[in-house]
Amino acid sequence: MRPFKLAPHRSTSVAGTSHAPRVSRVWSLAPLAALTLASACSIRVGGEVEESGAAQGVGKSGGLSYAAPPRPRPPALTTHCSPAPALFAQAAVCVCGAMSHAGKLTTIARPGETADVGVVGRLSFASGTRIDGSLRSGADVSFAGDLDVRDHALAGGDLSGAGDLTVGADLAVGGRLSGAGSLRVGGTLRTPEPTSFAGRQVAGARGAYVDPGAPPCACDPGALYDVAGAVRAARGANDNARAGLGTDARIVAKGAPLTLRDGRYYFSGAGELRGTSLRIEGAVQLYLEGDLTTIGEGQIVLGAGATLDMFVDGTLTTVGRASFGDPTRPEALRLYVGGKNAKLTLAGREAFHGLVYAPEAEVSFAGNATIDGALFARQLSYAGSLTVRGARVSTQPAACEERAPADPTAVPAPAPAPAPAPAPAPPSTSTSTPPCDPPEGS
């Protein structure tokens, strides 16, 4: 596998100083023996060594380059606003439990964006893995084959592998770091224990591990979006009457293909909609009460510029071949599944275009699969190759009630006075382990 080019990364810093010049210097000084490390050796950069202890330039309150971004607050359940901008803000793939696979995982980001992977539980890769963004796990991480991460990598527990590990920016490991291949870190390597890699080890700097203080994804019970609650709220706050529609899916499903235009729509008896064709025009929120067994090919068609937020308070077993409008606009379809202990299988001959939020579901793939969009699940497993082309939702529909109007008469609050500069830290008196001799043939 061709590794990412290790370019200087803006967010990598020690004591507030950018490592960008240092990283460039590391790669230009290949003959420098101090950069070829054996197990449990100090990592030298430009003749300086950052010893273990209190991490410099970072803290639990913020500023950790490898910490997950905060999740925005979702809108109220009874609005015409979409929760998608908040729920899919942290990563292209979020898993609240464990994630394992016997195939290859690849994420691809849009220009100027990231396609991150966040897993609260244990994470294991059985084949080559390439992340076009950051990789974060709250527990142990193990991999076979090469693991290639464009930006930051975080393992709250141990990190071990049988192949080469390449991280473009910072690598933070809360436990033991070991591997049978080589280790290349473009930013700062942060681990409480000595590393144990059989191959060449190179890093831009070394620092202490600091717990980010928050999980990689918003998976705490109080942080999960209440899909079932949103469906219950829509039972009494919907636009069905305005559109001349009842709320019983058994009646709606017997008619011609159904067209839904801007608004909130609620139907009970979700299973009766199986096989009913839906055409979406404008910004539509569709709330379905009950279990929906299958969503198949051609069942949902999005008009030009249309978006659909579909909420199912029960279970959804299978999402088959999905052609939901323009494949270049996968963020237009958002599927929310609230059924507890659900098992969701994504299958089909082509890519699934959409964003899936199923925090109580076990999601599985059979064969090679592609997601154009994002996935949030309780468990994730697959036997073939999984490719995720990340997509995010950054705007709200025009009918959204939660956008605060501009007030030209408002007087901005005065800026707080700058905090006094901290006193310089005293020079370290600790001794460092002398650098190791490079392995023969390096």
Residue 111 domain-assigned? no
The residues facing 306 across adjacent strands are none
Per-residue pLDDT at 185: 97
Residue 96 domain-assigned? no
End residue of a domain, out of 140, 174, 207: 207
The residues facing 1 across adjacent strands are none
Q: What number is the average pLDDT over the span 344-348?
A: 68
Residue 418 domain-assigned? no
Residue 362 domain-assigned? yes
Task: Please say whether the beta carbons of 120 and 216 come within 8 A.
Answer: yes
Per-residue pLDDT at 102: 73
Position 273 pLDDT exceeds 60: yes
Residue 301 domain-assigned? yes
Closest CA to 90 of 134, 125, 138, 131: 134
337 or 298: which carries more pLDDT confidence? 337
**Global pTM?**
0.76
Q: How many domains does the chain have?
A: 2
**C-alpha to C-alpha distance for 325 and 321, rounded to whole angstroms:** 13
For residues 158 and 199, membership in a common domain is answered with: yes
For residues 323 and 179, membership in a common domain is answered with: no
For residues 47 and 191, membership in a common domain is answered with: yes
Position 58 pLDDT exceeds 60: no
Per-residue pLDDT at 309: 96
**C-alpha to C-alpha distance for 215 and 189, rounded to whole angstroms:** 20
For residues 370 and 289, membership in a common domain is answered with: yes
Residue 401 domain-assigned? no
**pLDDT class for 54, splitting at 50, 70, 90?**
very low
114 or 11: which carries more pLDDT confidence? 114
**pLDDT class for 439, splitting at 50, 70, 90?**
very low
For residues 129 and 173, membership in a common domain is answered with: yes
For residues 278 and 368, membership in a common domain is answered with: yes
Which tens digit of pLDDT belongs to each residue from 232-259? Answer: 999 999 999 999 998 988 776 665 688 9
Mean pLDDT, rounded, of the chain: 76
For residues 316 and 346, membership in a common domain is answered with: yes
Helix or strand holding residue 249 (H, E): helix 249-252
Position 55 pLDDT exceeds 70: no
Position 97 pLDDT exceeds 90: yes
Residue 402 domain-assigned? no
Position 6 pLDDT exceeds 70: no
For residues 163 and 242, membership in a common domain is answered with: no
Residue 406 domain-assigned? no
Closest CA to 250 of 297, 290, 300: 290
Which residue type occupies 28?
A: S
Please tell me the total number of residues recorded for the chain in this structure: 442
For residues 300 and 195, membership in a common domain is answered with: no
Position 377 pLDDT exceeds 70: yes
Position 408 pLDDT exceeds 80: no
**pLDDT class for 182, splitting at 50, 70, 90?**
very high
Per-residue pLDDT at 297: 56
For residues 141 and 265, membership in a common domain is answered with: no
For residues 239 and 190, membership in a common domain is answered with: no
Q: What number is the average pLDDT over the span 269-290?
A: 85
End residue of a domain, out of 390, 409, 437: 390
End residue of a domain, out of 347, 372, 390: 390
What residues make up the domain containing 309?
Answer: 227-390
For residues 277 and 147, membership in a common domain is answered with: no
**Per-residue DSSP letters for 413-431?**
PPPPPPPPPPPPPPPP---
